[in-house]
Every structure is written in structure tokens, then in C-alpha cells.
Amino acid sequence: MKIAADHLFFGESETRAGRIVIENGLIVDLLEPGESDLDLGNALLCSGFVNAHIHLDLSIPPAKDHTPEDFGNWLGKVVESRRSLGPKGLSEAAARGIEECMASGTTAVFDIDPSGHSLQPLENSDLKRVIFREVISLTDEFEDQKSLLDFLGADFDPKKELRAISPHSPYTVSPMVMDRLLDLSKTLEKPWAIHVAESEWEEELLTSTSGPGADFLRQFETDPAAFHRGTSFIQSLVNQKKLSQLGLVIHGNHCSDEELDQMAKSGVPLVWCPSSHQYFRRPPHPAPEAHLKGVKVLLGTDGLISCGHLSMLQELRHARAAAKEISAHELWSMVTVNPRSWLNECGHGELLGSGRLEVGDPADLVAITIPKKTPAKNESVLETALQGSLLACWIDGRVTNSLAPNGPDQTPSEGDAP
Ligand SMILES: [Zn+2]
């Protein structure tokens, strides 16, 4: 099959017109414009979106009339929500989340799952995934080691799935268990993802075992002193030589310039969740500084419970609104090239390919309309396309979202641009 479009995104600042040839689910050739089976016309065709941070089992709408409260309390409510949903409710939520992801052009997710409720719904879908098994362990006794090892060692299709480890955060996993999990990640060459510096009180807890983080731990009859590191989490990983490119820093809302420098040096990406960030009314995210320092920035939604939607196109628009200084080329890279090049660097490139529409990549693609508006002077196609809407999506060359019947111009707008 040959798909033509006026604008192919190869991960460069300029798009080019051309055709993609697909055979057996793979991109097998790239051609100059010409005859095709499907001509998308004035549309952007790029690698499918990767949502680099999601909790599929928390695909439940956020509370309406939300007023951001204490973050520790909010985490407590998440635990309650999971309990009241129960195993069936969590799996159903995951299934709904998968549907919503695929309906908005996402072809792969990095899912954080504490107890396996998204496994079956993912198995039933075409969505590609890195499933991070989340570990929470306030004590040095790590009781779930066997189930973690079973999860990591299970049989799964490496073309669809990769399994990995997510120690939840530096304040919910004891330093000793954290060490063991990071050692395991290294031994098994499995990536890790950790919520780091999500809350402003994390560093105070780790350096002086005081503040709201200490109160949070005391609620669970846990001695905050057990979490003392004497320095920030990133710095302590550097000191232990455990900050490696296998790692993914989720949020990093309060990472300092020095920590961002360390991440750049170690090849550790930063995952930015613009909508969820706004939900908690946090100060501006350090993504622009991180990008300038050479840290790869990836985009995620986080759970629907705090994000309110699961559309990466909306995240791109939120990111654009929050960081005008980041080029459109870089924004599109955050949802296509960057997550894939990180996987490549940690030895798992076969799952999602390059994100640059290279021969040999799986034909996981998304087509976005270019709105018919008069672009601002010198506005690039990539900038205009940020306001576009989903036209079609393919996983392994199979359509997962059918084309709008009357072509690009009739596609309803995705709405809600910030
Ligand atoms: Zn999260």
C-alpha cells in the first residue's frame, strides 16, 4: 500500500511531500510524490503518537468542581478510588482508556500499572506498550518481588510489548528497596520510570526529613528518617552511579538546573504532562530549560483522573501554550521521535522503530489535518498542524481510525485547544 501526503514528518524542522510504502506492517520504502492508494493531500503524516506517561487503570474522569488540595491527600484519594473500583472496575477503566488513546491517534503508551489490571485489556488491543510494574514499599521488606519477577519474565510479544519497572517515587519506596529495583533493572536491562520531584516537598523530606512529605509518611506510621538521602533524589542516584539511560524521570516538576544537567549527561529523559500539571496548578514546568540543556523531553497525559482527556494532540497544544519558546519541530518530536529514540538507546528499539518514518520501522502512523486558516507570517506547517485534528491512524499498517468520509476538510475539530 502507498500512502501519499503533502507533509511527511521525518523528525526534521521542514516537512516534505512524499509517499510511504507499507508491506506486512512495515515501512518498506519512501518515494517522491506520485501515484498512491491513498492520497491524504494537505495533511501531516507522522509516526503514531507515544503517550509516555499514563495510568490506564485510572481512566476515570477527574472530580468536577475540583479545587487543588494537598498533594498527599490527593494521592490518598487515588488509593481509595482504586480500592472502590476493585479489579473489575480497574480493568474496565483501562479498557476505556485504551479506546480513548486509540481514538485520538496514540499508537503506543508507557503505562504504569501497580497490579496488572491493564494487562488483559492491552492484550485485547492493538495498542503497543511499555508496561511498567509499579512498586510501592514503605518498608525495607519488599513482599512483591516474586510477582514482579513473574511479570518481567512472562511470555509476551516483543513486537507489541515491553515490560519494565516503576518504583513509584523516592518517598513511597524505601531507599533499600529502591536500590534493589534499580539493580534489577540494570541486570535485566529493563527500563525504569520514577515519579521524581513531583511535589515541592520531596527534596525537604529527603534532605531534612521534615515538612509535608514527613507528615505524609507519618500517616502510614512510617518514620520519615528512613527516607533520608541527604540530597535530592537525582543527586543521590548520581552519587550511587545509578542514574543511567535506562531511566525515565516522570514530571521532575521541581528539578534544579544541576539535576537537569545530570540528566542530560546521563541520557535520562524527562516526561512532561502539561494538562495534569495545570490541573494541580503547579508553577511552570522546567521542560523548556531541560530541552535547552539537552535533556530529551517526552509528553504524557498522566491518568485521566488528573488529565481530563487522553489526547496527545491536546497535550501538544497545552505544551505550545505553556512554552512558546519551544519550536513546533521539537514539540512534534516529543510525541514521535523522542520516546522512540530513548527506547533505542536503552536497547529496545525493535518495539516502536525510529519515529522518523525510516525504512524498517513498523507502520504506526498518524495523519493530522492542516487547518485552513491564514497562517501567521512565516508560520511553519508544523506550527499550523498543532491546531489540526486527527484524520487517520494506523498500527502495523492497519487502520485503527477510519478516514473521515469526505476527506480532511470535513473532519470535525478536536476542540478544546487551550
Ligand atoms: Zn503518574
Compute, in angstroms, the gap from residue 15 CA to the centroid of ligand 1.
Answer: 33
Q: Percentage of the chain surpassing pLDDT 70?
A: 93
- Mean pLDDT over 368-392 rounds to 87
Of the three residues 345, 363, 392, the one that is the final residue of a domain is 345
Compute, in angstroms, the gap from residue 88 CA to the centroid of ligand 1.
Answer: 21
Residues with CB under 5 A from ligand 1 (ion): 302
Which pLDDT tens digit goes with each residue over 63-83? 765 666 677 777 877 888 888
Domain assignment present for 418: no
pTM assigned to the model: 0.93
- Mean pLDDT over 216-228 rounds to 93
Of the three residues 345, 375, 397, the one that is the final residue of a domain is 345
Domain assignment present for 415: no
Domain assignment present for 246: yes
Compute, in angstroms, the gap from residue 97 CA to the centroid of ligand 1.
Answer: 14
Compute, in angstroms, the gap from residue 328 CA to the centroid of ligand 1.
Answer: 25
How many domains, the chain?
A: 2
Compute, in angstroms, the gap from residue 47 CA to the centroid of ligand 1.
Answer: 24
Calpha distance 141→367 (Å, rounded): 48
Nine-digit cell string for 249: 524521570
Q: What are phi and psi of 151, to 5 degrees?
A: -60, -45
Q: Are strands 26-31 and 270-272 parallel, antiparallel or unpaired?
A: unpaired
Compute, in angstroms, the gap from residue 392 CA to the centroid of ligand 1.
Answer: 28
Q: What are phi and psi of 349, to 5 degrees?
A: -65, -20
| Residue-range definition of the domain harbouring residue 300 | 49-345
Residues 84/91, Cβ–Cβ less than 8 Å: no
Compute, in angstroms, the gap from residue 160 CA to the centroid of ligand 1.
Answer: 22
Residues 264 and 361 in one domain: no
Residues 82 and 158 in one domain: yes
Coil, strand or helix at 16: strand
Bridge partners (DSSP) of residue 362 are: 26
- Determine the distance from the C-alpha atom of residue 198 to the mean position of all C-alpha atoms in its chain, rounded to a whole number: 15
Calpha distance 376→328 (Å, rounded): 14
Compute, in angstroms, the gap from residue 198 CA to the centroid of ligand 1.
Answer: 9
Residues 218 and 335 in one domain: yes
Of the three residues 323, 345, 367, the one that is the final residue of a domain is 345
Compute, in angstroms, the gap from residue 32 CA to the centroid of ligand 1.
Answer: 42
Residues 231 and 285 in one domain: yes
Nine-digit cell string for 255: 528539578
Domain assignment present for 212: yes
Compute, in angstroms, the gap from residue 399 CA to the centroid of ligand 1.
Answer: 29
- Mean pLDDT over 107-120 rounds to 96
Domain assignment present for 416: no
Whether residue 355 is predicted with pLDDT greater than 60 in this model: the reply is: yes
- Mean pLDDT over 178-199 rounds to 95
Task: Check residue 91 and give its pLDDT.
Answer: 95
Residues 215 and 225 in one domain: yes
Residues 339 and 399 in one domain: no
Which pLDDT tens digit goes with each residue over 256-274? 999 999 999 999 999 999 9
Name the nearest CA neighbour of 418 among 297, 348, 319, 312: 319
Q: What is the DSSP string of 196-230?
A: ES-STTHHHHHHHS-SHHHHHHHHTT--GGGG--S
